[in-house]
Amino acid sequence: MSETSKTEDKKGKTRLTLSRPGSLELKKIVESGQVRQNFSHGRSKSVTVEVRKKRSFARDDAGKMKEVTSDAVEAPAPQGKAPEKAPVDAAGARHLTEEERAARLKALEEARQAGDEPEGEISDAEAAARAAKRAEAEAALAAEKRAEQEAVRKAEEEETRKAEEARAAKKAEEMAAKLAAREEAAAPEPAARPAAPKGRAGVEAASTPARKTRAPVRPAPSRGRDEPRRRQGRLTIAQALGDDDERMRSLASVRRAREREKKQAQESAEPRGKVVRDVVIPETLTVQELANRMAERGAEVIKTLMKMGVMATINQSIDADTAELVVSEFGHRCKRVSAADVEIGLKGEEDSPENMVDRAPVVTVMGHVDHGKTSLLDALRKTDVVSREAGGITQHIGAYRVQLPSGRHITFLDTPGHEAFTAMRARGAQVTDLVVLVVAADDSIMPQTIEAIHHARAAKVPVIVAINKIDKPDANPDKVRNELLQHEIVPEEMGGDVLTVDISALKGTNLDKLEEAILLQAELLELKANPDRAAEGVVVEAKLERGRGPVATVLIQRGTLSVGDIFVAGPEWGRVRALIDDHGNRLESAGPSVPVEVLGLNGAPAAGDEFAVVENENRAREISEFRQKKARAAAAATGARGTLEQLFSEAAGTQARELPVVIKADVQGSVEAIVGSLDKLEHEEVKATILHAAVGGINESDVTLAAASKALVVGFNVRANPQARDMAKRDGVEIRYYSVIYDVTDDVRNLMSGLLKPTVNETLIGNAEIREVFSITKVGKVAGCMVTNGSVKRGAKVRLLRDDVVIHEGALGSLKRFKDEVREVNEGYECGMALANYQDIKAGDVIECFEEEEVARTL
């Protein structure tokens, strides 16, 4: 709608008028047209394109408003001079003349100046005209810029093409020259060759016969640069009208292509050299592994082995010597290693004297059962351990650290005194600095006391004798000292070098003197260790706990063990998650002579295994795998020997009956003691076979093993989980729980006694002499006999004697007196007897009648 304005008439009334001449009406300001749109797959459709036009007005010479149209009328050229045509380059692009360029620049400058003037100084028509001129000038400059860029790009492409053609021609000339020189050198009398035509065609013709015949490689058809590209994105008015610009290749793209060609030419010209590698060869490896280590093809390795006379497949193992020959054949360097090399350097270097510091002594308390070893430790630690031990005896090896009033520390190891724990006592003596031998003053020297003396002497450690229970009325310490002389232990009171202290663990008598004696002996030993190094030590005990996993009690011998360290203990490895002392306190680190519980192992090690901290997890895993493989090989060898012995015993008919047993205990030391006790129950006719012995609760796999072999499951201080109990009840597997080792050995002994064959006692009843032999139809031969001694009973066993030689032993078939069956015939009476399944009887033979009685045997 046209603009309106308010004016006042003569009467002062306001009326609405038009600010521009003309009538107030609606006109069509949108022009539309049809454009054909083509798609890549062949379809096309018509698209309506609308162009919105803006009406502009300007004052004419008379000062009236008049609509200005956008139709441009070209000014006629001056008479007598033809209009100058714009130059056209070789590529067909049109350039502006100098006059057109100057006119357009002037129009653009005027348009910019007009745009800077205030809107009130010019009319709308003039502003529209200036804007049209400015847009036209900008469009012309942009078109000229594009044309110049296109001309530069085409010129660069032409130069690149000419350079490539020149390079190819030069290369072809060089190849032709080389081939010609080679042919001249090979021919005895070179004939005159016609001159090749000059130019590129001639070079190609000259080089064509020398080249190998190859099929031409046709590149895939590609779009030319002058061909229209496929449209991408939305269709715009400029694209529909055909005003979009052609895509141009950038200079960076051309530069990258040149660098790529140069690199390919260098790679093809330089021959690759042989790479010599250091090949690590273990004791055994497969052909594929050897090929991978040398970075060679497996087929080539197999060919080399065939030349050496070795027929091997890709997955077949070869020995280290053969592998070394193959590596030398391929020109690589060989490095032989052994599987045991993973343990080299595990313990580290020896400590220098300047790094050594004093450490606490490690004391092992040994002695006979119930002589007061644990009670002595209780008195020293002010704790009560005896009340927690089942049956009042120590069944675990414990490690404790006692702090004296002077501030010094002593580490005590408490070992069991029962005869089943011999291995635990020996292990305690091996890791200790000195031994405290506890002897009861009322019992004197006992078998386990003598055994402890032997262990201490074998470990070459000094001994301190603590004569306990001196508070009892029948205590006689002098008797103990005299009996020690029989075992080569001479007390100081008798001119020897062994300290003896009379104590009472129950009342705490002379405990301070015992501690002084221990410290005095430790000073003489000069115990030192280096705490500033990786920790090393020994596993005192190991067990499995619910919620904590494998727990190992270790005694650190040198170095410092900290939380987060990676260590190896026997065939197991792990990372230290927590360190717990004997009072239940958590520690961040522990030094030499400190016993701690370690959490974080992936399995329970064996008691007595050495542990050491390693630098990383890979090293720990390698050592663990090597030790596990070694243990499996040893177990397999032992099993093979047992199978061979069993084969010989079966051949001889003397195979012993077996009682299979599955043992599960709370700690490794208890497992070791139970297995040792059951091994001592061997007999000629029966023995206990340990199918499986481990630490932890009874689970489903244990019950499955016991069900398959009809074994007894022994649980020592452990219980079966609900699933295992249900499975045992279903399969009829017997599970027995124990807390004292005496009960285990007694029950297993009784079960083994039940497997023994009973003793048969024979009792002679009587003799009968055959007087006559009768043959009866459907019965056979019947002996008419006279009982000469004792009596003859029906159902008894008989022997047939002929000339005092036993020719038959069997059962009595029938016993008759006259025609009646009788139960017994006494001496002096006649009877008729028939032997079961035997007919070779004669007059004069003697029938001996006897009874057998079975008597149960015990181990």
pLDDT band at 21 (very low <50, low <70, confident <90, very high): low
pLDDT, mean of residues 217-240: 57
Across 272-276, 654-658, 693-697, 807-811, least confident range: 654-658
- Reading the block at residue 46, the tokens are 């018509």
Per-residue pLDDT tens digits for 330-346: 989 888 877 666 777 67
CA distance 115 to 793: 150
Per-residue pLDDT tens digits for 742-779: 788 888 888 877 767 777 788 888 999 999 888 887 77
Across 87-96, 519-528, 567-576, least confident range: 87-96
Write down the pLDDT at residue 78: 45
Write down the pLDDT at residue 248: 67
- Reading the block at residue 398, the tokens are 């414990």
pLDDT, mean of residues 487-496: 82
Q: DSSP label at 393?
A: S
CA distance 663 to 691: 8
- Reading the block at residue 256, the tokens are 């990258």
Q: DSSP label at 445?
A: S
* CATH topology classification for 656-755: Rossmann fold (3.40.50)
Q: Does domain 759-855 have CATH number 1.10.1740.10?
A: no
CA distances (Å), 115 to each of 55, 60, 130, 573, in order?
A: 19, 22, 8, 85
pLDDT band at 660 (very low <50, low <70, confident <90, very high): confident
CB 528 within 8 A of CB 359: yes
Ordered alpha helix ranges (H), 656-811: 668-679, 700-709, 722-731, 741-755
Write down the pLDDT at residue 858: 65
Write down the pLDDT at residue 303: 92
CA distances (Å), 557 to each of 134, 361, 408, 596, in order?
A: 95, 10, 17, 12
Which residues are registered as beta bridge partners of 362? 411
Q: Judging by DSSP bridges, how do beta strands 586-587 and 536-545 pair with one another?
A: unpaired
pLDDT, mean of residues 234-260: 72
Instruction: Return mean pLDDT, the chain.
Output: 76
Write down the pLDDT at residue 288: 92
pLDDT at 81 over 60: no
CA distance 49 to 30: 10
pLDDT at 485 over 60: yes
Which range scores top for mean pLDDT: 409-423, 479-493, 651-665? Answer: 479-493
- Reading the block at residue 647, the tokens are 């084969």
More confident residue, 445 or 113: 445
CA distance 554 to 608: 9
- If you search the block for the tokens 């020994």, which residue do you land on? 538
Helix (H) or strand (E) holding 366: strand 362-367
In the chain, what are the helix, strand and coil shares in percent, each to the nearest 5? 35, 30, 35
CA distance 628 to 432: 28
* Whole-number percent of the chain with pLDDT over 90: 5
pLDDT, mean of residues 169-190: 73
Across 54-58, 79-83, 145-149, 575-579, least confident range: 79-83
More confident residue, 118 or 735: 735
pLDDT band at 116 (very low <50, low <70, confident <90, very high): low
Q: Please give the full DSSP string across 496-519, using - where no structure is assigned.
A: SSBEEEE-BTTTTBTHHHHHHHHH
CA distances (Å), 776 to each of 769, 779, 780, 818, in order?
A: 20, 5, 5, 14
687: helix, strand or coil: strand
End-to-end Cα, the chain, rounded Å: 128
Which residues are registered as beta bridge partners of 769? 786, 846
pLDDT at 30 over 70: no
* Whole-number percent of the chain with pLDDT over 70: 73
CA distances (Å), 618 to each of 261, 576, 612, in order?
A: 46, 16, 14
Domain 367-527: CATH superfamily, name plus number = P-loop containing nucleotide triphosphate hydrolases (3.40.50.300)
Q: Please give the full DSSP string across 84-100, using - where no structure is assigned.
A: PPPPB-TTS-B---HHH
pLDDT, mean of residues 788-801: 88
* CATH topology classification for 529-649: Elongation Factor Tu (Ef-tu); domain 3 (2.40.30)
Sign of CA dihedral 321, 323, 329, 333: negative
Provide φ and ψ at 66, rounded to 5°: -140, 140
Q: DSSP label at 27?
A: -
- Reading the block at residue 656, the tokens are 């012993």
Nearest CA among 425, 324, 439 for reference residue 373: 439
Region of 485 please: left (phi>0), alpha (psi -120 to 50) or beta: alpha
List Cβ neighbours of 789 (8 Å cut-off, separation of 6 or more): 766, 767, 827
Across 66-70, 118-122, 140-144, 520-524, least confident range: 118-122
pLDDT band at 685 (very low <50, low <70, confident <90, very high): confident
List Cβ neighbours of 41 (8 Å cut-off, separation of 6 or more): none
Write down the pLDDT at residue 240: 62
Per-residue pLDDT tens digits for 612-622: 898 888 888 88
pLDDT band at 118 (very low <50, low <70, confident <90, very high): very low
Which residues are registered as beta bridge partners of 499? 464
Domain boundaries, the chain: 103-150, 278-337, 367-527, 529-649, 656-755, 759-855
Q: What is the pTM of this model?
A: 0.49
Which range scores top for mean pLDDT: 13-17, 386-390, 479-483? Answer: 479-483
More confident residue, 326 or 104: 326
pLDDT at 844 over 50: yes
Distance of CA 105 to the CA centre of its chain: 79
- If you search the block for the tokens 């007061």, which residue do you land on? 372
Helix (H) or strand (E) holding 686: strand 686-695
10 Å Cβ neighbour count for 831?
19
Per-residue pLDDT tens digits for 436-466: 888 888 888 888 888 888 878 877 888 888 8
Angle at 438 between CA 433 and CA 442, to 5 degrees: 165
* CATH topology classification for 278-337: Arc Repressor Mutant, subunit A (1.10.10)
More confident residue, 200 or 539: 539
Angle at 142 between CA 140 and CA 146, to 5 degrees: 115
CB 770 within 8 A of CB 842: yes
Write down the pLDDT at residue 306: 92
pLDDT, mean of residues 117-142: 66
CA distance 657 to 683: 9
Provide long-range contacts, Cβ within 8 A and 24+ apart, for 451-455.
Answer: 451/419, 451/422, 451/425, 452/366, 452/367, 452/368, 452/425, 453/487, 453/489, 455/366, 455/425, 455/426, 455/428, 455/429
Q: Burial of 275 by CB count in 10 Å (0-12 exposed, 13-18 middle, 19+ buried)?
A: exposed
Length of the chain: 859
pLDDT at 228 over 70: no
pLDDT band at 476 (very low <50, low <70, confident <90, very high): confident
CA distance 246 to 224: 12
Supply the angle between the helices 373-381 and 511-525 in degrees, to the nearest 10. Answer: 90
pLDDT at 664 over 80: yes
CA distance 686 to 659: 7
Supply the angle between the helices 422-430 and 447-459 in degrees, to the nearest 10. Answer: 30
Fold match between 367-527 and 656-755? yes
Per-residue pLDDT tens digits for 277-325: 888 888 888 999 999 999 899 999 999 999 988 888 999 988 888 999 9
Q: Burial of 490 by CB count in 10 Å (0-12 exposed, 13-18 middle, 19+ buried)?
A: middle
More confident residue, 713 or 681: 713
10 Å Cβ neighbour count for 30?
8
- Reading the block at residue 378, the tokens are 């209780």
Which residues are registered as beta bridge partners of 465? 437, 500
Write down the pLDDT at residue 301: 92
CB 133 within 8 A of CB 120: no
Q: Please give the full DSSP string across 819-830, using - where no structure is assigned.
A: TEE-SEEETT-E
